[in-house]
Amino acid sequence: MSTPLRVVVVGAGPAGIYASDILTRSGGDVAIDLIERLPAPFGLVRYGVAPDHPWIRQIIVALHKVLDRGDIRLLAGVDYGTDVTLAELRQRYDAVVFATGAVRDVALPIPGIDLDGSYGAADFVSWYDGHPDVPRTWPLNAREVAVLGAGNVALDVSRILAKQAHDLLPTDIPANVYEALAANPVTDVHVFARRGPAQVKFSPLELRELDHVPDADVVVYPEDFVFDAGSMAAVDSSNQTRQVVTTLTDWTLKEPADRHASRRIHLHFLHKPVAVLGDGGHVVGLRTERMTLTGDGTVTDSGQTTDWPVQAVYRAIGYFGSPLPGLPFDEAAGVIPNRGGRVTGPDGAPLPGVYTTGWIKRGPVGLIGHTKSDASETIAHLREDAPALPTAPDRDPRSLDMLLARRGVRVVDWAGWLRLDSYERALGQAHGRQRVKVVPREEMIHISLDAVGPVTT
């Protein structure tokens, strides 16, 4: 009987689960452990997708089916770098695959960005999605808000801010999120994009959703609708761009007299944020510079600035990866240096038995389809390398379990997740909802391990 290839995958989001699934189906005898820092699997699908996007959250159904087969072992609640090191994993596994994603906000180095009232969108998304490692409160006290960015996360943040809390009750938002949103005094959300309507990264579906937010009007400004040759080429070459531009252009035909909602979402194009304005340490405004299209779809500064009265600023200009202990890291790109998923050292040579996939491999771009193809590339290289990989000296399948137990790590396995999943569904059923998330980490672990009610204090 051949010795199975022992592989550990770090990160139980879509990238890690897809990589594990592809590896199990790639032929040969393989044993896979999937470790996850949080007490629950599914990564950004659980903690990075807006709660009013149930069709995207259906991805969890497919990921659930993969882990429910039983041929991939889940060990959640295990923090790589703290609970276990790379050396300790290499002692026990022939290969390590890192799929830790990208969860930090890209920095925006403009004056005033660190003022009280200036936030990263990733932190806000984590809050409204009930992430266990962020504060349970959020300072929603601004009537006028600026959102910086031209992608779907900017739209998600704007939509959640503009929605009435009761319209989110059918979703899985936790009680603390509902209560805070119910008291949200916002009247105007301003979205600022540095480039023109033909260059934004909104998906057509996400954009059209804005027009269906109850009690919120979408406002666009005809003077922002400038198209150069590069813009027209983008419209002609991409059906998605054409749909986005058509939707935006149709909104310019709306009459101001037809706006009756109590809240408004303003979309501004060709406005580059240049400073967050403050008074007494708090945000009181945003300064933007008008941009000019150059002919090829890119933009240049005009020198003309505008000050907008806002009391909060959310930057949604992208996600960024985080360095991992014991691994090289590209500080400029926010990724683990690699070639096709093979992690490379400072000399550019591959580190034997160390691989990466997902956003921490390629950066935070692409959809689920890209994540699958990305994982396929990494696993193909792992399989190609397998015959020459150094064999891990400790082959005991429970060796990692024993190490974690000695360190007092409370590991949530798949059965534990199923208990938490059932508990959250029962919470939702009691209120006519599909699910209500449990937020506190200790309560999540308590329910998962003990199959009983929440922690009482």
pLDDT at 456: 46
Comparing 137-146, 289-298, 402-411, 432-441, the range with the smallest average pLDDT is 432-441
Q: Are residues 14 and 140 in the same domain?
A: no
Which whole number is the average pLDDT over 143-168? 97
pLDDT at 319: 94
Q: Over the stretch 172-221, which tens digit does the pLDDT of each residue have?
A: 999 999 999 999 999 999 999 999 999 999 999 999 999 999 999 999 99
pLDDT at 135: 92
pLDDT > 80? residue 31: yes
- For tokens 């020459």, the residue is 388
| Contact criterion met (CB below 8 Å) for 249 and 224 | no
Q: Are residues 243 and 143 in the same domain?
A: yes
In our burial notation (b when 16+ CB lie closer than 10 A, e otherwise), range 366-385 reads eeeeebbebbbbbbebbbeb
Instruction: Using alpha carbons, select from 223, 212, 90, 210 the residue that is nearest to residue 155.
Output: 210
Angle among Cα 257, 263, 266 to the nearest 5 degrees reads 75
- Write 367-375 long-range contacts (CB < 8 A, 24+): 368/14, 368/59, 371/14, 371/15, 371/18, 372/18, 372/22, 374/15, 374/341, 375/15, 375/18, 375/19, 375/22, 375/99
Confidence of residue 62 (pLDDT cuts 50, 70, 90): very high
Please report the DSSP string for 232-254 in residue order: HHHHHH-HHHHHHHHHHHHHTT-
446 inside domain: no
Which whole number is the average pLDDT over 333-340? 97
pLDDT at 451: 55
Comparing 56-60, 272-276, 287-291, the range with the smallest average pLDDT is 56-60
Q: Are residues 111 and 240 in the same domain?
A: yes
**Which comes out higher in pLDDT, residue 37 or 53?**
37
pLDDT at 28: 83
Which whole number is the average pLDDT over 218-231? 96
Whole-Å CA distances, 221 to 54, 127, 218, 250, 268: 31, 31, 10, 11, 7
d(CA 54, CA 20): 25
386 inside domain: yes
Q: Are residues 48 and 119 in the same domain?
A: no
pLDDT > 70? residue 101: yes
Number of domains observed in the structure of the chain: 2
Q: Over the stretch 109-127, which tens digit does the pLDDT of each residue have?
A: 999 999 999 999 999 999 9
| Contact criterion met (CB below 8 Å) for 22 and 72 | no
Helix %, strand %, coil % of the chain (to 5): 35, 25, 40
Alpha helices in 93-228 (DSSP H): 121-128, 152-162, 175-182, 204-209
- For tokens 């308590």, the residue is 446
278 inside domain: yes
- For tokens 């969108």, the residue is 121
Instruction: Using alpha carbons, select from 308, 307, 354 the residue that is nearest to residue 329.
Output: 354
Kindly report the CATH number assigned to the domain that includes residue 286: 3.50.50.60
- Of the residues 290, 318, 346, the one at which a domain ends: 318
**Which comes out higher in pLDDT, residue 159 or 259?**
159
Rg (CA), the chain: 24
d(CA 200, CA 202): 6
Q: Are residues 29 and 89 in the same domain?
A: yes
User: Between 59-68 and 414-429, two packed helices, what is the crossing angle to 10 degrees?
Assistant: 140
pLDDT > 90? residue 3: no
Please report the DSSP string for 58-99 in residue order: THHHHHHHHHHTSSEEEEES--BTTTB-HHHHHHH-SEEEE-
pLDDT > 60? residue 76: yes
Confidence of residue 248 (pLDDT cuts 50, 70, 90): very high
- Report the Cα 418 to chain-centroid distance in Å: 23
Q: Record the pTM.
A: 0.93
Confidence of residue 350 (pLDDT cuts 50, 70, 90): very high
Which whole number is the average pLDDT over 153-164? 97
pLDDT > 90? residue 133: yes
Q: Are residues 300 and 329 in the same domain?
A: no
Q: Are residues 234 and 358 in the same domain?
A: no
Q: Are residues 72 and 84 in the same domain?
A: yes
pLDDT at 2: 65
Q: Are residues 193 and 271 in the same domain?
A: yes
Q: Are residues 80 and 167 in the same domain?
A: no
Which residues of 184-238 form beta strands (DSSP E)?
Answer: 188-193, 216-220
Q: What is the mean pLDDT of the chain?
A: 94
276: part of which helix (H) or strand (E)?
Answer: strand 271-279
| Contact criterion met (CB below 8 Å) for 233 and 297 | yes
The 3-state secondary structure of 299-355, one letter per residue: EEEEEEEEEECCCEEEECCCEECCCCCCCCCECCCCECCEECCEEECCCCCEEEEEE
Instruction: Using alpha carbons, select from 175, 176, 181 the residue that is nearest to residue 428.
Output: 175
The fraction of the chain above a pLDDT of 90, given in percent, is 90
pLDDT at 453: 52
Kindly report the CATH number assigned to the domain that includes residue 65: 3.40.50.720
Q: Are residues 301 and 376 in the same domain?
A: no
pLDDT at 200: 96
**Which comes out higher in pLDDT, residue 256 or 80?**
80
Structural domain containing residue 11: 5-103+321-411
Q: Are residues 352 and 251 in the same domain?
A: no
182 inside domain: yes
Confidence of residue 158 (pLDDT cuts 50, 70, 90): very high
pLDDT > 90? residue 434: no
pLDDT at 450: 83
pLDDT at 55: 74
Tokens of 71: 């041929």
Cβ-Cβ contacts under 8 Å for 16 (sequence gap 6 or more): 9, 10, 34, 36, 43, 97, 99, 357, 358
449 inside domain: no
